[in-house]
């Protein structure tokens, strides 16, 4: 991978993890955060999908809000709004996020929707690479439905058609990120992370240019195994701050548990709306 350099304003290089919700982004973050070469905070920032989206929306809707020439658009155009307000805001947030990191550490931030904002990150002059995780949409639908039953799952209240559309949108956004970023974007499959965790992590570290030992990776895999995380739950020193009281956030962690969860009607709908992308990603069986 092309070596990254920090910006002149002191913003450290970043690893932005993203992928469709319920695809294993949290588990991937936990595994990588065990490395001494990587710094990460436990909670998602939602910097791009919530804060920047709302700021941009407010700016673009000022006429409707004020019914006059009031507002920031009276002295900012779109270009200066992005350059003079949004760019410093994003850089300030990420510098604060990195407080506590040691010199030379790669800063990891995980918000699932990061993958949808790679183009905006590039336009905001961030020094970053993006790591995307994809998962079989059948497993995503199954996990999403389980999340709907939990008190923390209000965000997951979608029907199967909307879940399929969301999965497709994330995959296409990942394709676009690869087109834009070339070797600075990498896609991995959740199923390989489950079945071959050490090999998959070695591949990621090689892409990042980090010489992580196999022994350290094996220790991280053992410490962050799905079985161990499930059994320890909120008592886990790895998981407690991440789940923040969200019971059952970590589920089965299996590759094909969807087989017992989905009806033939569900499978038909998923294949109808996700089939072409499933075939391309190797999820056709």
Three-state SS for 243-268 is HCCCCCCCCCCCCCHHHHCCCHHHHH
What's the pLDDT band for 1 if we cut at 50, 70, 90? very low
What whole-number distance in Å separates Cα of residue 33 and Cα of residue 39? 6
- pLDDT, greater one: 243 or 40: 40
190 occurs within a structural domain: yes
What whole-number distance in Å separates Cα of residue 221 and Cα of residue 55? 39
pTM: 0.90
265 occurs within a structural domain: no
What whole-number distance in Å separates Cα of residue 206 and Cα of residue 88? 32
Q: Among 15, 12, 155, 208, which residue's Cα sits nearest to residue 96? A: 12
What whole-number distance in Å separates Cα of residue 253 and Cα of residue 103? 34
Give every CB contact of residue 204 below 8 A, 6+ residues apart in sequence. Answer: 32, 131, 186, 188
148 occurs within a structural domain: no
pLDDT of residue 6 exceeding 80, the answer is no
What's the pLDDT band for 245 if we cut at 50, 70, 90? low
CB 61 within 8 Å of CB 250: no
Beta strands in the chain (DSSP E): 14-18, 38-40, 106-110, 128-134, 185-189
What whole-number distance in Å separates Cα of residue 161 and Cα of residue 164? 5
3-state secondary structure of 121: helix
pLDDT of residue 113 exceeding 90, the answer is yes
Kindly provide the b/e burial profile for residues 14-50, where b requires at least 16 CB atoms within 10 angstroms of the residue's own CB: bbbbbbbbbbbbbbbbbbbbbbebbbbbbebbebbbe
User: How many domains does the chain divide into?
Assistant: 1
CATH number of the domain where residue 122 is located: 3.40.50.300
pLDDT of residue 226: 82
**What would the pLDDT profile of 121-148 be if each residue is shown by its tens digit?**
999 999 999 999 999 999 999 999 999 9
What's the pLDDT band for 243 if we cut at 50, 70, 90? low
Structure tokens at 164: 């399929």
pLDDT of residue 52: 96
Q: Among 33, 185, 178, 26, which residue's Cα sits nearest to residue 101? A: 33
266 occurs within a structural domain: no
What's the pLDDT band for 236 if we cut at 50, 70, 90? low
133 occurs within a structural domain: yes
Query: 126 is in which domain, residue-wise?
Result: 14-137+183-251
pLDDT of residue 8: 39
102 occurs within a structural domain: yes
Kindly state the percentage of the chain with pLDDT values over 70: 88
CB 107 within 8 Å of CB 13: yes
Geometric angle at alpha carbon 111, from 242 and 54, rounded to 5°: 120
165 occurs within a structural domain: no
Structure tokens at 32: 């990588």
């Amino acid at each position: 991978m092309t070596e990254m350099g920090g910006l002149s304003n002191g913003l450290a290089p970043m690893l932005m993890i993203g992928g469709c919700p319920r695809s294993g982004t949290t588990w991937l973050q936990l595994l990588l955060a065990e490395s001494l070469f990587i710094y990460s905070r436990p909670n998602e920032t939602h910097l791009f999908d919530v804060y920047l989206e709302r700021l941009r929306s407010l700016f673009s809707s000022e006429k409707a809000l004020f019914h006059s020439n009031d507002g920031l658009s009276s002295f900012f155009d779109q270009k200066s709004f992005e350059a003079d307000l949004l760019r410093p805001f994003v850089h300030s947030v990420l510098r604060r996020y990195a407080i506590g990191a040691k010199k030379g550490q790669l800063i990891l931030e995980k918000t699932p929707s990061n993958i949808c904002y790679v183009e905006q990150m590039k336009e905001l002059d961030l020094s970053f690479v993006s790591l995307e995780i994809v998962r079989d949409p059948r497993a995503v639908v199954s996990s999403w439905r389980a999340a709907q039953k939990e008190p923390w799952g209000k965000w997951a209240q979608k029907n199967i058609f909307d879940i399929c559309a969301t999965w497709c949108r994330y995959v296409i956004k990942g394709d676009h990120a690869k087109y834009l970023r070339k070797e600075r974007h990498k896609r991995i499959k959740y199923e390989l992370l489950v079945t071959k965790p050490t090999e998959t992590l070695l591949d990621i570290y090689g892409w990042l240019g980090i010489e992580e030992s196999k022994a350290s990776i094996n220790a991280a895999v053992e410490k962050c195994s799905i079985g161990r995380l499930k059994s320890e739950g909120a008592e886990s020193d790895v998981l407690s701050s991440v789940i923040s009281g969200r019971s059952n956030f970590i589920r089965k962690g299996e590759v094909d548990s969807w087989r017992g969860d989905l009806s033939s009607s569900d499978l038909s709908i998923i294949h109808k709306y996700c089939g072409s992308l499933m075939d391309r990603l190797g999820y056709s069986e």
